[in-house]
Amino acid sequence: MNWNQEHELPLHLDDPQTLLFWSADELIPLALFLIAAIITEELIICMAAGVLAVYWYRRFKQTQPEGFLLHFAYWYGFVPSKARSVISPYIRQVLPL
């Protein structure tokens, strides 16, 4: 381990991880369009659509509360859990015993 190396420290402890100037969750639409570009062999069109999708996602994310998409995915049953018992997201009303 070289102790003289310079390391970039985040400004805040809760800052999301970034790659270039995109956060990790903003790279998902770009990666999906990159996969589509490889399949369809239309790199320029798909990458332009990917950058537009990231722009749209960033604007959408700024208008919603933090963690909105994770809660949305759970509500519609897209988030699996490793817990032994989880209330089904399809049950909309839980009554006491």
Domain range spanning residue 62? 18-75
Quote the pTM value.
Answer: 0.59
For 56, the token pair is 């749209």
pLDDT of residue 39: 93
Q: How many residues does the chain have?
A: 97
Would you say residue 90 lies in a domain?
no
What gap in Å lies between CA 95 and CA 47, rounded to an integer?
A: 49
Q: Is residue 83 part of a domain?
A: no
pLDDT at 44: 92
> What does each of the 97 residues of the chain score in pLDDT, given as a tens digit?
566 677 666 676 666 677 777 777 788 888 889 999 999 999 999 999 999 998 998 898 889 888 787 788 877 777 766 777 767 667 778 787 6
Chain mean position to CA 70 = 9
DSSP symbol at 20: T
Asked if residue 64 is part of any domain, the answer here is yes
